[in-house]
Structures are given as C-alpha cells and as structure tokens.
Amino acid sequence: MAHASDMHSLEFKLPDLGEGLTEAEIVRWLVEVGDLVTVDQPVVEVETAKAMVEVPCPYGGVVTARFGEEGTELPVGAPLLTVAVGAPAAADATGRQTEGVAASDRKSEGSGNVLVGYGTSEAPSRRRRVRSAAPTAPAPQKPAAPEPSSAPAEPQRESVHNGGHEGPVPVISPLVRRLARENGLDLRELHGSGPDGLILRADVEYALRAASAQARPAAAPAAAPAPSPARAKAGPSGIRTPLKGVRGAVADKLSRSRREIPDATCWVDADATELMRARTAMNAAGGPKISLLALLARICTAALARFPELNSTVDMEAREVVQLDQVHLGFAAQTERGLVVPVVRDAHARDAESLTAEFARLTEAARAGTLTPAELTGGTFTLNNYGVFGVDGSTPIINHPEAAMLGVGRIIPKPWVHEGELAVRQIVELSLTFDHRVCDGGTAGGFLRYVADCVEQPTVLLRTL
C-alpha cells in the first residue's frame, strides 16, 4: 500500500490534435471525480472540426478534478483533469481492498502524450470508484453521465440500469446519443429500426416529432420558437453564427485555397448512357453492387495515370511541383455537421467493388461523426459529385493543398445527337478545376477529355487497364 507521502498529482491537458486542429468541444465526460482510471482509459468525449472522438488519459490513478463543463470549447494545451497517482487502496462495500497505483509503479503510470482518439494500450471497459479520493478541490460538476458499456464487444453502445439489471441500449452513433440527451429523451423507451434493434437518428427524430405533436395542443398559440443554442441573439445587424467546428475549418481551408491557388476550370458535356447500361449489367450479374461513384473513381485513377501532373502538390518554399506516387482520392460528403472530405487511401490500387465498399464505409462514418483525422487528411485528388443536389455544373474550390478536383453534375435525359440522329440520351456535365501552376490547359483538357471518353464508351477504360 502506498503512503500519503508517495502520492502526487498529475495534470492531463488536451493533447495536440494534429492536422491544424487547435480546439475541441467537450461533449460528454466519461469519468467523475473520485473514479479510479487506468492508463489509456477514455475519460472524455470531444468534438473537433474533424470528428467526434474519445480522449484517453495517459496516467493511471484517481481523478481529483475535471475542468470544463459539457458544451465548453477548450484550446489545445488547456487542462482537462488532474489525476492523483500513487493513491492509497480503498475499501469497497465488502471491506476488501481495491488496489491504487503504487508509488513504485510511477515509471509506468503514464503512456506519454497521445493523439486524440488513440491510446497505446487497450482501455478497460469498466471504471471503478474510490471512496476516499486524494484531497484536492474539484471543479463544479454536472450530474454524472451514463456509464459506458462494460461489454468489450460493444464499446460504443451505452449501458443503462433497467430494473436493477444493467443492459445495453443499442446506440452506436455519438450524434444520436447527443441528440437524445439535449432533448431529454430516454433512449431506453425507444425501439430501434436498425439491425438488431439499433437505434438510428431517424428513430430519435420520430420520437421527438411524436412528443412535439402531443404537446402542441397545450402550447400557447403565439409561442415563439426557442432560439438555436448555436446562434447568438439577433441584433440590428442580423443573426450572427460563429465560424467554429466543421464550418470554421472549412472556411479557413477554402479561404487559403482561394488566396494561394491560381485555379482555372474547364468543362464538357458527356453522354453517360453506356456507362449507366454497363453499371446495370454489372449489378445484374450477381455479387456486391457497384456504385456509380466507384465507377467514376475508377475512371479518375485511370486518367491520373495518363496525366500524373494533376496528382501533385506545390511546394512554394522550395518552388517545386511535387508529383505524387499514390492516388489518395477524396470525395465530398455533406453531413449534418457540414461538408467533409473523407479520403480513400490507395484508390489507384482498388477495383470497383473495393471502392464501393470503402465509399460506403466512409460515408456512414461521416454521417455518424466518427471519422478519424487520418481518414480526413492526406488526399491527393478530389471527386465531387454535386449532381446529388440536383444541379448540372459548378466551379468548385480546390481542396488545398491538392492540385485538381473533378466535378460531376446530375445525369438526366436530354436531346443528343447520337450516331447522326437526334435521340434522348443520359447526359452529364463534367468540370475540372485545376491549379494552373502544375499544368497548362492542354494537360487539363486532355485529362477531362479522357474522362468524358470513358464515360461515353466504358470500353475505352477497359483497353487501358
């Protein structure tokens, strides 16, 4: 057992999040003052401009103070909590002793600085409360958040007490949990519509609409809607919305792109009838379905192999254009948190089936807010399918520090001259925005023309594989 003189307190600060991220918002505390934590145990859930992640603590000991309430935004380097290490053992309800962190273990009591969302060892699935915590002044606390599940196989599902027995509430998405928590909705009362009873965002929204409909007759007819917590009060200049989180990160990146990149755009209409027929035939043959985005991505990687100048970045300090060996393909995904660009690693080495699966995985993670910084950075070329918004064309802003972006509009029936006769064909507008420092219009036009040829005649792509 460690003596009081062996105890000392360590302060755990919000670690460097990497990739230019400088702050994070506390979404939910996973530990309370007095809890015994071990090395790399997640202690707080935070939301950054990139994703929602759990922060592991690099120290083992007793939590003596927490800093920041839920909803507070903290800068990198700000204190998160303090941990008393070398804490004495405490008796549990049966009179037995629970081990603290011995003073002789101080050399191994911490894992060092860790990146947000990543520890150096497997975190425990259950936390323990110590009755006699080390004497320090704790920060004011909110009511305790529900404990995380103790089942290792389902680390992201909430656990609740139900009739004296602990059981899992099937919720994976932290955004779903947060939506329910902010609206005072008890997830134990819901029946999920997802696989194995998984509670989806649609289930929570349906329950909230039902509750609102029941309460509406009793509400005052002229009741004003509650102001959005994310917006300041309206003043003479209108409503002010802070540029932070995802929106702030996007604003900074787009502004930098406009400042630094001399971009130009070229576009062409293409007859996508044969591409759509080819996809229909592929999916009719059985096996995993192939998405249109995957076929367009496959065309992009083939085009970049012919015109590698567009898979580049510009190093202005060295005054060099750096042509990259691998194609890490970003794709624009609109989510409730804003626009994000997940990245498919080594897209040039994947077939259509693999690309389809990876697009689906990353899109689901983007909607759930669980993308890691590694999945949101490192892209070398971006594919932007803005046709899903029902528009034909666009002049997109390049995703800095990349050199080009291919835009794809909606595919709709239009009159088109086909084999010398007027016919109704499936037409799409393709646009390429490129950094004029890496190539001239001839290269950009050649790339776009090759893409259009593959869209119009998919056999062109087969001949180049």
CATH number at residue 36: 2.40.50.100
Q: Are 300 and 343 in the same domain? A: yes
Q: What confidence score (pLDDT) does residue 352 get? A: 93
Q: Are 210 and 172 in the same domain? A: yes
Three-class SS state of 366 = helix
Number of domains in the chain: 3
Q: Are 423 and 341 in the same domain? A: yes
Angle of helix 292-306 relative to helix 352-368, nearest 10 degrees, comes to: 120
Beta bridge partners of 412: 427
For 342-357, the pLDDT digits (tens) are 999 999 999 999 999 9
- Of the two residues 376 and 135, the one the predictor is more confident about is 376
Query: Which residue range(s) make up the domain with 412?
Result: 262-464
For 302-348, the pLDDT digits (tens) are 999 999 999 999 999 999 999 999 999 999 888 877 778 999 999 99
Q: What confidence score (pLDDT) does residue 213 get? A: 67
Q: Are 339 and 332 in contact (CB under 8 A)?
A: yes
Average pLDDT estimate for 71-91: 77
Active site residues per annotation? 436
183 found inside a domain: yes
Does the predicted TM-score (pTM) go above 0.85? no
| Strand residues in 30-135 grouped as ranges (E) | 35-37, 41-47, 52-57, 61-66, 73-75, 79-85, 90-91, 97-98, 128-129
127 found inside a domain: yes
The secondary structure element, H or E, covering residue 406 is strand 404-408
Q: Are 443 and 323 in contact (CB under 8 A)?
A: no
For 404-437, the pLDDT digits (tens) are 999 999 999 999 999 999 999 999 999 999 999 9
Environment class of 243 (CB within 10 Å of its CB; exposed 0-12, middle 13-18, buried 19+): exposed
For 122-131, the pLDDT digits (tens) are 333 333 444 3
d(CA 322, CA 84): 49
- Asked if residue 388 has pLDDT above 90, the reply is no
Residue 102: pLDDT band (50, 70, 90) is very low
Q: Are 87 and 185 in the same domain? A: no
